[in-house]
Amino acid sequence: MGALTRLRLPRLGETMDEARVVEWLKPEGAAFCRGEVLLEVETDKTVVEVPALRDGVLLRHLVQPGDTVELDAEIAEIEGAAEAEGGTETGPRTGDEERSTGPAAAIPPGAPASQPSPRAKPPASGATEPGSRVPASPAARRLAQRHGLDLAGLQGSGPRGRVQTPDVATLLDRARAPDTGLRMVETTAGPVACRQTGTGAVTAVLLHGLFADGLAWRDLPAKLAAQDIAALAIDLPGHGATRARMGGLDAVTDCLAEVLDQLAPAGRCVLLGHSFGAIAAARLAQRLGERAAGLILSAPAGIGLGLDARFVSAMLEAETTQTLAHALEYLGPEAGPVSDTALTAELARLRAGREGHARAATLAVHNGVQTADIRPLLASCAPVPHVLVGMRDRVLDWRDALHLPSRVALHFCAEAGHMPHLAVPRLVQELVAAAAR
């Protein structure tokens, strides 16, 4: 028989000194192999898995879901190599213990099935009750949190209904699916596709980035509508369902102004622009004057020279889902995994809009250098601009934001890539709500 050892809570992060037990994935008495996950714990940063480093048998849980445990505290009794598991050997099993056929025989009669380690802390007031948290892998939980998705009620495809990353990816695919709220607005340049959500005295005008369309904002329109802020997501000329051709930047501004004259003729607007759409948003804010209640730009183009032309080329020239998947990695962690079905649909959409996308690209970049400059507009437009940049952006150089006019409010998102508005959705909602007051 193997040695009886105590498994200790390992260090799972540089700043970690304690963690909260989320769920035991191996029950008492279960055998496990090297690499299998024994339990999940939550640190001050995220939910992480505690794997087994050697084969063994989990004899007894010493801490329970909801317990807060200090670093190096004993969390379980196992049968295995003490040094391999970071545990402390309590001696070979002899006598009745040696003859036992299961872990229950090693527990004195009348003793509770699990006794907390002396170093384990009871759940803090208001802590999540065991069973109230949807079982999910750390990767799936991080992906859901990143996109503001609620896992409540979701039946996962993993063991015991555990939510896995593909389950969350399926939810994201549904969020990206075309909706039925599309309407066409006639302009001088041609029909423009718009999606209106909610009503309110102030309209949030959402302008997407290059290669995207109005659906790229995901559930932001619905969340704004819940705050009594009307949301208007527009497919830019040359993109999505819009049939208006992509002209010059002046023509784009004229086209968007015509749309607002019809759908929000007298109301105040909060303008949100992402990447290429930020150029359009800044120009439109200048055109609207006092009607522009706010200007919020996410990873804006037009504030510097740097741009990774490989991303633009890959998106314009992608002919296979593998190439497209590689290109989408440039967008950063908030893009998340995309299913094969979604990749196929995205590739078809990009092929259909390639002419408009190529025209838009020429307005923003030439020979790998950005050609548009919106910094003078940000220095003089009516609302104080708010700029969000992801410090893991691989498409644009986030450091360009350091040279913006002093009146610009900067928001640096350390873990975000090229779509910081998806990484910090609550901040975006707060900024829009503040501008709409």
Distances (CA, A) of 172 to 108, 142, 167, 179, 280: 50, 13, 9, 14, 27
Q: For the residues of 56-81, what is the DSSP string, one character each?
A: EEEEEESS-TT-EEETT-EEEEEES-
Which residues make up the CATH 2.40.50.100 domain(s) of the chain?
4-92+131-172
Query: Whose CA is closest to 295, among 205, 373, 372?
Result: 205
Angle between helices 138-146 and 165-176 (to 10 degrees): 20
What stretch(es) of the chain map to CATH 3.40.50.1820?
182-436
Q: Which of 34-43, 88-97, 159-168 has the lowest mean pLDDT?
A: 88-97
Position 397 confidence tier, pLDDT thresholds 50, 70, 90: very high
Q: pLDDT for 323-360, tens place per residue? A: 999 999 999 988 877 778 888 889 999 999 999 999 99
What pLDDT, on the 0 to 100 scale, is given for residue 147?
Answer: 65
Please give the pLDDT value at position 94.
Answer: 37
pLDDT cut 90: percent of the chain above it: 54
Chain centroid, CA 323 distance in Å: 22
Q: Which CATH number fits the domain 182-436, given the four candidates 3.30.930.10, 3.40.50.1100, 2.60.40.680, 3.40.50.1820?
A: 3.40.50.1820
Report pLDDT digits (tens) over 210-249: 999 999 998 899 999 999 999 999 999 999 999 998 889 9
Beta bridge partners of 70: 18
For 55-92, the pLDDT digits (tens) are 889 999 999 988 888 888 899 999 874 444 444 444 44
* Segment holding 203, helix H or strand E: strand 202-207
Q: Nearest-5° angle of CA 29, CA 34, CA 39? A: 55
Model pTM above 0.85: no
C-alpha distances in angstroms, 218 versus 324, 335, 413? 20, 12, 19
**φ, ψ for residue 167, nearest 5 deg:** -65, -45
First to last CA, the chain: 70
pLDDT-derived band of residue 386, with 50, 70 and 90 as boundaries?
very high
Task: Show the beta-strand stretches assigned E in 72-129.
Answer: 74-79, 88-89, 120-121
Give the chain's mean pLDDT: 83
- CATH code at 4-92+131-172: 2.40.50.100
